[in-house]
């Protein structure tokens, strides 16, 4: 299996507006995941947050991916948001059973918690995480501002995460909130994305940054600058960060991810990203016309 210094990914693998620029016109919707995994190293599996997939769908995802690729599926919102991690052991067991064909390809199971989940609820989170086997790949994303206060509450969270080997997921929404709310897409993104401080702390071996980009791609270069120091630092420490790239509508997310990765390559040696399938297919077409 390939050892990657960093895993680069997007918030999804299927987007209709990526057909020409990313997948290539000949790619069918059912082939998108396979094409995606040829370029990116991971994906933020939001689909499981909204509904548990069917067993057949999970098998299809396994068939379309490969062993060097890692999914980072979110736990269902019924568990994390509706039940706030309480009384959900049976639901969790059922979900994990459905997802079992992909367990070896999970980089991180994401426990995304709502803003209503406060520092006073930390014991509930600790009890919930105790349901998993030791060394299970977990990441926790908190959104209540009490976890960002640099006080005893935040210290308790971080210390427990370090002791438990659980990654604290870092939301960097500064870029999207720096955009002028001039259209519905930006306004909607600013309503939905949490505006929390960026605490660039690594509590385990796979720190995850969710970079919510500015809609103008060039504007992200300056906003990404702090990560050009922090990510190489973590890599030199032997960690394998995950960089998840979003934009307000995700139409240009593949292009932004590539641009940010190339910025990182100017600061630390990283393997090149494979060409987008659309570009590869064009090159194949050009070669065919030469004979």
CATH number of the CATH domain containing 211 = 3.20.20.410
pTM of the model: 0.93
CA 13, 15, 21, 25 torsion-angle sign: positive
Q: Calculate mean pLDDT across residues 31-37.
A: 97
Question: Is residue 204 within 8 Å of 165, Cβ to Cβ?
Answer: yes
Among 205, 187, 203, 185, CA closest to 3 = 205
Confidence class for position 45, pLDDT limits 50, 70, 90: confident
Report the chain's mean pLDDT, rounded to a whole number: 93
pLDDT band, very low/low/confident/very high, at 134 (cuts 50, 70, 90): confident
| Per-residue pLDDT, 1 | 43
For 217, the domain range is: 7-289
| Confidence check: pLDDT of 91 > 70 | yes
167 vs 133: CA distance, rounded Å: 15
Please report whether residue 187 resides in a domain: yes
DSSP alpha helix (H) spans, the chain = 32-37, 47-50, 55-64, 77, 89-98, 122-129, 152-164, 174-177, 184-192, 220-223, 227-236, 253-265, 277-289
pLDDT at 129 over 80: yes
Stretch 70-97: mean pLDDT, rounded?
97
How would residue 282 be classed by pLDDT, with cut points 50, 70 and 90?
low
15 HSE (CA, 13 A, CB side) = 18
pLDDT over 80 (residue 257): yes
**In the predicted structure, residue 288 carries a pLDDT above the cut 50:** no
Q: Which whole number is the average pLDDT over 53-77?
A: 97
What average pLDDT does this structure show over 141-161? Answer: 97
- How many angstroms separate the first and last alpha carbons of the chain? 37
Q: How many domains does the chain have?
A: 1
Note the pLDDT tens digit of each residue in 158-199. Answer: 999 999 999 999 999 999 999 999 899 999 999 988 899 999
Residue 263 domain-assigned (yes or no): yes
C-alpha to C-alpha distance for 82 and 201, rounded to whole angstroms:
28
Q: How far apart are CA 199 and CA 161, in angstroms?
A: 14
Phi, psi of 44 (to 5 degrees): -85, 110
Read off the pLDDT of residues 207-224 as tens digits, 9 standing for 90 and up.
Answer: 999 999 999 999 999 999
Q: What percent of the chain has pLDDT above 90?
A: 90
pLDDT of residue 132 exceeding 60: yes
Measured in whole angstroms, the distance separating CA 26 from the mean position of its chain's CA atoms is 27
Is 1 a member of any domain? no
Tell me what pLDDT residue 94 has.
97
The whole-number pLDDT of residue 15 equals 94
Q: In the chain, pLDDT over 70 holds for what percent of residues? A: 95
pLDDT number for residue 281: 57
70: enclosing H helix or E strand: strand 70-73
Which H or E run contains 211? strand 208-212
Say if residue 230 is exposed, middle or buried (CB neighbours under 10 Å; 0-12, 13-18, 19+): middle
Q: What is the pLDDT of residue 135?
A: 85
In this structure, is residue 2 part of a structural domain? no
- In this predicted structure, what is the pLDDT of residue 108? 96
Asked whether residue 118 carries a pLDDT value surpassing 60, the answer given is yes
For residue 2, is pLDDT > 60? Answer: no
């Amino acid at each position: 299996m390939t050892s990657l210094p960093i895993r680069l990914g997007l918030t999804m693998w299927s987007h209709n507006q990526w057909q020409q620029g990313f997948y290539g016109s000949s790619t069918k919707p059912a082939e998108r995941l396979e094409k995606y995994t040829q370029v990116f190293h991971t994906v933020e599996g939001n689909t499981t947050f909204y509904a548990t997939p069917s067993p057949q769908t999970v098998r299809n995802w396994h068939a379309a991916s490969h062993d060097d690729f890692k999914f980072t599926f979110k736990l269902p919102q019924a568990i994390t948001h509706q039940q706030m991690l309480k009384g959900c052991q049976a639901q969790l067991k059922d979900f994990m059973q459905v997802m079992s064909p992909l367990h070896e390809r999970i980089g991180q199971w994401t426990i995304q918690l709502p803003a209503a989940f406060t520092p006073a609820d930390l014991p509930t989170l600790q009890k919930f995480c105790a349901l998993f086997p030791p060394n299970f790949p977990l990441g926790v994303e908190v959104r209540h501002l009490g976890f960002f206060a640099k006080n005893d509450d935040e210290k308790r969270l971080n210390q427990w995460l370090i002791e438990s080997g659980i990654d604290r997921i870092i939301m960097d929404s500064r870029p999207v909130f720096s955009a002028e709310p001039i259209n519905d897409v930006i306004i909607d993104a600013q309503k939905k994305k949490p505006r929390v401080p960026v605490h660039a702390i690594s509590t385990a071996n796979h720190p995850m940054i969710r970079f919510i980009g500015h809609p103008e791609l060039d504007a992200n270069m300056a906003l990404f600058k702090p990560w050009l120091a922090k990510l190489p630092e973590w890599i030199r420490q032997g960690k394998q960060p995950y960089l998840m790239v979003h934009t307000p509508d995700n139409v240009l997310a593949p292009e932004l991810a590539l641009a940010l990765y190339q910025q990182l390559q100017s600061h630390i040696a990283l393997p090149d990203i494979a060409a987008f399938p659309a570009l590869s297919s064009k090159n194949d077409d050009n070669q065919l016309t030469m004979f």
